[in-house]
Amino acid sequence: MILIITFGLILIASFGLYLVSSKQIPKTLKSKWAILAKHPKRIRVIAFIFILIALSCLSHYFGNSIAIVALCLFSTPIIFGLILSINDLKPKSKT
């Protein structure tokens, strides 16, 4: 159960940080997530708090010495999947 909570927290934090990144804010203002782009500092703080909560959950599950490594290993496929699902990966036409 702790790993599922950690997965969700990392996913929400990564998605929030993506939406309020400096290059993404103009696109976010036009989407249904516009309220997040109006308060980017708050969203970043909340996202980092979620990451710290996920780190504490992993520390509880795996122990203090391996928690940061577990966070890195656990978040890498989540972030990679998020990047693949959000970005357009269509090849550019040669015209």
Q: What is the pLDDT of residues 20-53, one digit of tens each?
A: 998 889 988 898 989 988 999 999 999 999 999 9
Instruction: Label residue 87 by pLDDT band (50, 70, 90).
Output: confident
Please report, for residues 56, 59, 66, the alpha-carbon distance to residue 70 in angstroms, rounded to integers and kept in the order given.
11, 9, 6
Copy the structure tokens of residue 65.
Answer: 């010495």
Residue 31 near residue 39 (C-beta atoms within 8 A): no
pTM, two decimal places: 0.83
| Distance of alpha carbon 53 from alpha carbon 10, whole angstroms | 9
Tell me: the pLDDT tens digits for 66-83?
A: 988 988 998 999 999 988
